Structure 1
Amino acid sequence: MYALLVVIAAVFIMPLYWLFSSAVKPSGEIYRFPLEWIPHHLHWSNFINAWHDAPFGSFFVNSIIVTVIGTAIKMVLATGSAYAFTFLPFPFKRVIFLLLLGALMTPGTITLLTNYLTASDLGWVDTYAGLIVPGAGSAFGMFLLRQQMMTLPREVFEAARVDGAGHLRILLRLAVPMSRPMMITVTLISVIEVWNDFIWPLIITTTTQMRTLPVGLLYLKSQEGYNDWGAIMAGTVMVAAPMIIVFLLAQRYIVAGFSGGAVKG
């Protein structure tokens, strides 16, 4: 079993190791065969070249703004929707919930044209609103939070209602704190999803100054005559490293969230 786990770990780790090692190699060593897994000299100038050959400062600012605001909106909408589907009676509740679940099975590419035409009509092309608002809904996050709230003891909520607590107070004082592991899990999933999004930022932005990091990396690679793969690898590291660090720091919360009763129907 341990040998199998080592093999599986190696399959996932080797590409990451190659990425990070190539980011500090001269271009000549990257192309060399047989492969040189350990750099002879650390070529840190690749990061400097990548930073100067493309406006990575603007890319970072845009990605941070879109990720922070986009994730906050996703969490507010997902949390409110999950609470409503769990505790509030309203007409066609089950039908609406099933329709939202259908959104999980719909490829995002199907709505690209519709979203773009809507954003264009609203004047949101090449704006933060265009980057953030069309992806603000999260059916997956709503589903996970709803499943978590289904496991919470109803007696606590009934006692709060007897004491005169309204829905907003119950949501903020009871449902959210009691669902903390899943809240953290959904937040992390949303952060990674928004940070790594490529297709929509590529379509909705038209100027270099509004690009996010994944699209900015394409901009670096697609410059005419640009073949500095050391700098491209360094740029890739700058894009991937923040989310790798976030995942490593928060993986225990993700496991706790998914094992905390989220599979209850």
Structure 2
Amino acid sequence: MKKKLKSILTYFVLISGGLFMVLPFIWMILSSLKTMPEIMAIPPKWLPDTPQWSNYGEAMSRAPFPRYFLNSVIVTTLAVALQTFLSIMMAYATSRFQFPGRNALFALLLGLMMVPYEMLLITNYVTMTRLHWLDTFAALIVPNTASVYYTYILRSNFLRVPDSYLYSSRLDGANSWKYLWRIMVPMNKSTIMTVILLNAIGEWNSFMWPMIVTNSDALRTVQVGLITFNNDTSTRYDLLMAAATIIITPLMTLFIVARKRIVSAFSHGGIKG
């Protein structure tokens, strides 16, 4: 009886927490089909009287969202590819190569994770200005090509690979480069895929940095495009929710498809919780 009660309580807490987290997304989707009076109604009105499907078409016509989507795809693809490559290389170097100060160097890198991102904005902005990269794809991509966090995740998994694989590859004539890409990467492909997915989600949702370094519609991303619905006097919440629903759909689909892989990689990477 105690086990059943404990199980019921556990499921109740988990389901309640899940519903609490899903609630904002449900409200966003329902609000995208409402009129402004229905959104602003007090007490809140959950369901619209007549679904306003035209909100989606009007929201997409308010700004060049096709161009914003293309920019986000370009920035996300290139930034994720470069960051994944550099994270793999750094994780491999700090997990397999023996050199003086290796642990101290990695400890220093971990210490950089304690620095708030907002503190780096001014420094990065000044750097982009001196390089004359403002309002270019380089400014959107290059500052995001290194990640200590993803390096830490990959290094934890690389350290789990027995040294016997390295010795066997040496006997077969494989150098460090071949050992990395033919043995280490395939053995940790689940974690690498998770890093790619999490990185893609982060890049797609990035708002502050693209807003700072871009000045024209030709370079802005979808998240920055959402400010189109704000002005000095009011905010079109109906159109904002419609645009946000469209923008978040690819990420939600990606997360639902890959959720098991993400959980599996984190549970095997020694970073639970």
TM-score, normalisation: structure 2: 0.92
Deviation (angstroms), 1:167: 1.1
Q: 1:222 to 1:33 in 2, by over 3 A?
A: closer
Distance in 2 of aligned mates of 1:176 and 1:39: 50
Read off the aligned partner of 2:246 and give its amino acid letter: M
Q: Which of 172, 178, 194 is the aligned partner of 2:203?
A: 194
Residues 181, 260 of structure 1: 8 Å contact kept: no
Q: Does 1:234 align with 2:238?
A: no
Deviation (angstroms), 1:134: 0.9
Q: Does 1:7 align with 2:16?
A: yes
Read off the aligned partner of 1:243 and give its amino acid letter: L
1:31-42 matched pairs, under 5 angstroms: 31-42=40-51
Read off the aligned partner of 1:228 and give its amino acid letter: R
Q: Does 1:152 align with 2:161?
A: yes
Distance in 1 of aligned mates of 2:54 and 2:234: 16
Distance in 2 of aligned mates of 1:222 and 1:123: 30
1:50-87 Cα offsets, whole Å, 9 max, x none, are 11111111111111100000000000000011011111
* Equivalent position of 1:142 in the other structure: 151
* Equivalent position of 1:59 in the other structure: 68
- Contiguous gaps of at least 5 residues in structure 1: none
Distance in 2 of aligned mates of 1:169 and 1:227: 55
SS in structure 1 of the partner of residue 83 of structure 2: helix
Residues 79, 141 of structure 2: 8 Å contact kept: yes
Q: Does 1:217 align with 2:230?
A: no
Residues 86, 146 of structure 1: 8 Å contact kept: yes
Q: Which of 257, 262, 271 is the aligned partner of 1:254?
A: 262
Read off the aligned partner of 1:61 and give its amino acid letter: L
TM-score, normalisation: structure 1: 0.95
Deviation (angstroms), 1:225: 5.2
1:81-111 Cα offsets, whole Å, 9 max, x none, are 1011111122321111011111211111111
Distance in 1 of aligned mates of 2:223 and 2:146: 21
Residues 71, 191 of structure 1: 8 Å contact kept: yes
Distance in 2 of aligned mates of 1:117 and 1:180: 37
Distance in 2 of aligned mates of 1:113 and 1:205: 15
SS in structure 2 of the partner of residue 210 of structure 1: coil
Distance in 2 of aligned mates of 1:134 and 1:67: 13
State, as a whole percentage, how many aligned pairs show the same letter.
35
Distance in 2 of aligned mates of 1:34 and 1:224: 26
- Contiguous gaps of at least 5 residues in structure 2: 1-9
Read off the aligned partner of 1:49 and give its amino acid letter: E
Distance in 1 of aligned mates of 2:11 and 2:122: 48
SS in structure 2 of the partner of residue 209 of structure 1: coil
Read off the aligned partner of 1:212 and give its amino acid letter: T
1:23-54 Cα offsets, whole Å, 9 max, x none, are 11222221223322222322111111111111
| Aligned residue pair count | 263
Root-mean-square deviation (Å): 1.5
Residues 46, 230 of structure 1: 8 Å contact kept: yes
Deviation (angstroms), 1:212: 0.9
1:145-172 Cα offsets, whole Å, 9 max, x none, are 0000111121112100121101111111
1:154-169 matched pairs, under 5 angstroms: 154-169=163-178
Residues 153, 269 of structure 2: 8 Å contact kept: no
Moved more, 251-260 or 29-38: 29-38
